[in-house]
Amino acid sequence: MFRRSGPTDCTIAWEGREIPARAGEPLAAALLAAGIAAFRETPVSGAPRGPLCLMGACFDCLVEVEGVPNRQACLVPVTPGMRAAPQRGARGAL
């Protein structure tokens, strides 16, 4: 889907799987570069979704970051060792 034109300098964990990344880039870019197209499942029908806009408007790139749900992956900068996972449905009550 996408390939990198520059080097990576760290790794992050997506559902426990290690993927290469570059510190400071948007988390969404690191996931897409690793071939991950679906970031979440919708609360309405459970359909898979990936990012549409990458500028904080569409909310289709929602993921869990370090256990915190509903984070917009396009606005979260990568830090080395960051742990992220898909957002499945709506966030829990607590």
Partner 1 sequence: MAAALEARARGIEVLLLDENLAPGGQVHRAVGGFHRPEPRAPGAAQAREGLRLIEAFRASGAEARFGATLWAVEEDRTVTWSEGGVAHRARAGVLLLCPGAIERPLPIPGWTLPGVMGVGAAQILLKSAGLLPEGRVWMAGQGPLLWLYAAQMLAKGGRLAGILDLSPPGGWKRAALHLPAALTAPGYLLRGLGWMARVRRAGVPVIRARALAAEGGERLTHIVFDGRREAAELLLLHDGVVPNTQITRALQGCAHLWDAAQACLRPVLDGWGNTTRPGVLVAGDGAGIGGARAAEFSGRIAALEAARRLGTLTGEQRDALAGPLLLRRQAELAPRPFLDALFPPLPAADIPDETLLCRCEEVTAGRVRAATALGAQGPNQLKAYLRAGMGPCQGRVCGPAVHAVMAAARGVPPAALEGLRTRFPSKPVTVGELASLA
Position 15 contacts partner 1 (CB under 8 A): no
Q: Which listed residue (15, 18, 20, 32) binds partner 1 by CB under 8 A?
A: 32
Mapping DSSP onto H, E and C, the string for 16-38 reads CEEEEECCCCEHHHHHHHCCCCC
Amino acid at site 52: L
- Specify the residue for token string 């957002």: 87
Amino acid at site 29: A
Position 63 contacts partner 1 (CB under 8 A): no
Residues that bind partner 1 (CB under 8 A): 1-6, 22, 24-26, 29-30, 32-33, 37-39, 42, 44-45, 47-60, 62, 70, 74-75, 77
